[in-house]
Chains A and B, each alone.
Chain A
Amino acid sequence: MRITKEKPVELLSKYGLYFVLLLLIVVSAILSPLFFSYSNIANLLTYNSFTGLLSLGMTFVILTGGIDLSVGSMVGFSSILYATMLHGAIFTFMPDNIFIYTGSPQLTPLFPQGINIVVVFLICSVFGFISGSISYKFRIHSFIVTLCFMIFIRGLAVSYTHGQPLFGMPEYINFIAYGTFLSIPMPAIIWLTASVFSIFLLRYTRFGRGIYAVGGDEEAARLSGIKSAIYRIMPFIFSAFFASLVGIMMSGRMACGDPKIAQGWELDAIAAVVIGGTSLFGGRGTIGGTVVGVLIIGLIINIMNLLEIDAYPQQMVKGVIIIAALALHNLLSGRRYS
């Protein structure tokens, strides 16, 4: 069923996704004069950086045929973990009364400033390692393992402070959420840097080729001497790492740690990855596609907000467009499943 004869169609099949993105940008620009304003583009990029980073980790996981449902919970967990560490503890069990801060709260970090972030990264990565290992070792599909982790980690995060947000963030954390460099928002810079790094990793290293090999056909990869354990577990560590990065950035955006944020974000990330052309069966897909997938969903939401569409029709349009984009893409590339 592969299209080989017709040149323009072949071109479309290769760059179909980028074409859809371009089409969306043109349509948005026509529909709203506000679309190309600096503040709108900056807002669009900032908001989507968070889903963008989550879907980077998710791409690694899905490329090996797995799925990671725990990222949303991990964002909430890392946010509150980081906040409690800034207040000088790794676990504070607060009483059930309200905390009203007047003025800036005094921060008493557990470790010297930068180290706190590293510790958060480490703890979250260990969770990623555990879920990946369980899935690999006991041959339970990661859907089930990470579903359990999703519930467990959210529970852990909420019990940290009895569900209450913990207020107070240092300046530089607020900067990575609200600041700009060369008038590009910081979250967007972090997202794009991480994307470039991921593209490099997948395309030009042995590790990247291993991911594709194991995702495509694990048995064949094993027979050709690839140790599949690394390629099965590492993606979950990446995913958890990116989730904790998002958690810290979100803390800066809210100026507090909040254990209840990012509920359902894992689905947004998965949707973006799938729109980006990555096969849920593994072995096929690119980071570039994922970035475009995030932008497509983000653009649709953005333009509907600018046009003042009510929230409920927005959800309908979002659902229809995701299916339409997928159908279009698969038709163009002559693929049977996604």
Chain B
Amino acid sequence: MKKFLLTGLFLLLALALVFPAGKTEKATIKEGKILLGFSHVAMNCPYYLAMDKAAKDTAAEHGADIIVLNAEEDISKQISDIESLLVKGVDALIVNSTTEYGTMPVIKKAKSMGVPVVAIDRNLYGDYLAYVGIDQWKAGQLQGEYISKELLPNGGNILMIIGDPGCPASIGRGNGMLDVLEKSGKDYKVLATYKASYNQMLGMQKMEEGIAAFGDKIDLVYCANDSMALGALAALREAGMTDVLVCGIDGQKEAYEEIRKGGQYKSTVINNPTEITTKAVDLLIDYLANGKEPEERDVITGTILVTKDNVDQYYDPNSVF
């Protein structure tokens, strides 16, 4: 009996190993075809998933192969991912880095192997071909200008919900806005700054905490992305606080819908993952196939303020994000 069990288990283990083997034929590199590697920071929200999809779609359009590896927000795994992509012999790399500095040595290594690197979404430190993404600081400034001119022209109390402390996107978006408010010379007060990791559910939770702490004092909620802003909006509605204004960043479809309704959700800034990734793949293919260097090292996409005046121009009910 025991022997049977043992053999059975061994077979199971072997099966578990062979089960992924169905994909082996994909691993063989086809002659003459461009192979791209994409080291992605995570795939846990619509924004990142849209990037994954756009990268695969655009590569397929160009007839190139692409391998996408998910670092699960772990810088060590990301370094190892990039090294395995280099082992697999990719022609070029797209990196959405976990932190701005941590990938520097391995990108140096890629450079020495003659593999060009394009950074997307988050700026990197190091020797790369180009950065494709929004201007984080300017995104914050655009919101700051809109707040100081239109939303709260006479000053007011602001509650901030940021992503992660120390992350360049949160710093740029937050401080860009604060910078403008400070220079406007009007009386603005930041009641509190919460961190909600760009997550909708956490955004709602932090807003509930904010309502409990400050109640009617809040005039406006400024969130570092639309997911958190939508979470905050839900919390405000539940508390019946329909006169508190909400601002986000990213240009998520659901945020456009709220802005179209003309309610308390007032503005967002375009940061389109599909546009960013498509541009990055195009740029790399152009570089590999035609030897064309990008004109600028920082390729800025989006960074356009969207309010009720121009939302119809950008709203697409069929978009992924």
Give me the interface of A with B, judged by CB distance under 8 Å.
3, 9, 12, 20, 23-24, 27, 31-32, 34, 37, 39-40, 43, 46-47, 50, 96-98, 100-101, 158, 161-165, 167, 174, 177-178, 250, 253-256, 258, 260-264, 302-313, 317, 320-321, 324-325, 327-328, 331-332
B105 at the interface (CB under 8 A from A): yes
With contacts A98-B168, A311-B43 taken as known, whether A304 is within 8 angstroms of B76 at the C-beta atoms is: no
The 4 closest A-B pairs by CB, nearest first: A163-B166, A311-B70, A254-B102, A163-B165
B233 at the interface (CB under 8 A from A): no
B125 touches A321 (CB 8 A): no
A178 to B81, CA, bound (A): 15
| Partner among A31, A260, A302 whose Cβ is within 8 Å of the Cβ of B21 | A31
B166 touches A165 (CB 8 A): yes
| Partner among A40, A312, A324 whose Cβ is within 8 Å of the Cβ of B16 | A324
A165 touches B100 (CB 8 A): yes
Can you identify 30 A-B contacts, CB atoms within 8 angstroms?
Answer: A9-B3, A20-B13, A27-B14, A34-B88, A37-B87, A43-B83, A43-B87, A162-B165, A167-B125, A177-B105, A178-B109, A250-B76, A253-B76, A254-B75, A254-B103, A254-B104, A256-B99, A256-B101, A258-B99, A258-B102, A261-B74, A307-B23, A308-B67, A310-B70, A311-B69, A321-B13, A324-B12, A328-B13, A331-B2, A331-B6
A79 to B261, CA, bound (A): 48
B172 touches A163 (CB 8 A): no
B76 touches A308 (CB 8 A): no
The total of interchain contacts (Cβ-Cβ below 8 angstroms) comes to: 157
A9 to B13, CA, bound (A): 18
A258 to B164, CA, bound (A): 14
Against A, the Cβ 8 Å flags (1 = close, 0 = not) of B6-19 are 10011011101111
**Residue numbers in A under 8 Å from B12 (CB-CB):** 324
**Residue numbers in A under 8 Å from B27 (CB-CB):** 32, 34, 306-308
B316 at the interface (CB under 8 A from A): no
A334 to B103, CA, bound (A): 46
| Partner among B5, B19, B26, B75 whose Cβ is within 8 Å of the Cβ of A308 | B26
Interface of B (DSSP majority class): helix
A23 touches B102 (CB 8 A): no
A307 touches B20 (CB 8 A): yes
A307 touches B75 (CB 8 A): no
**Residue numbers in A under 8 Å from B168 (CB-CB):** 98
Q: How far is the CB of B38 from chain A (nearest CB, A)?
A: 12
A158 to B166, CA, bound (A): 9
Interface positions of B from 68 to 83, Cβ below 8 Å from A: 69-70, 72-77, 79-81, 83
With contacts A161-B166, A164-B166, A307-B24 taken as known, whether A40 is within 8 angstroms of B104 at the C-beta atoms is: no
B69 touches A23 (CB 8 A): no
A47 to B86, CA, bound (A): 15
**Residue numbers in B under 8 Å from A50 (CB-CB):** 76
A260 touches B20 (CB 8 A): no
| Partner among A46, A101, A260 whose Cβ is within 8 Å of the Cβ of B125 | A101
Q: How far is the CB of A328 from chain B (nearest CB, A)?
A: 5
| Partner among B10, B24, B70 whose Cβ is within 8 Å of the Cβ of A32 | B24
A325 touches B105 (CB 8 A): no
B172 touches A98 (CB 8 A): yes
Q: How far is the CB of A50 from chain B (nearest CB, A)?
A: 6
B264 at the interface (CB under 8 A from A): no
**Residue numbers in A under 8 Å from B74 (CB-CB):** 261-264
**Residue numbers in B under 8 Å from A39 (CB-CB):** 83, 86-87
A263 to B73, CA, bound (A): 9
**Residue numbers in A under 8 Å from B154 (CB-CB):** none
Given contacts A308-B23, A325-B13, A328-B9, 11 further A-B contacts (CB under 8 A): A3-B2, A96-B171, A165-B101, A167-B125, A178-B109, A261-B74, A311-B43, A317-B20, A320-B16, A324-B12, A327-B9
B87 touches A34 (CB 8 A): yes
Give the nearest-CB partner of B89 in chain A: A34
A24 to B16, CA, bound (A): 11
**Residue numbers in B under 8 Å from A302 (CB-CB):** 84
With contacts A37-B87, A43-B84 taken as known, whether A309 is within 8 angstroms of B23 at the C-beta atoms is: yes
Q: How far is the CB of B294 from chain A (nearest CB, A)?
A: 20
Q: How far is the CB of A261 from chain B (nearest CB, A)?
A: 5
Give the nearest-CB partner of A168 in chain B: B101
Q: How far is the CB of A292 from chain B (nearest CB, A)?
A: 15
A307 touches B166 (CB 8 A): no
**Residue numbers in A under 8 Å from B5 (CB-CB):** 331
B175 at the interface (CB under 8 A from A): yes
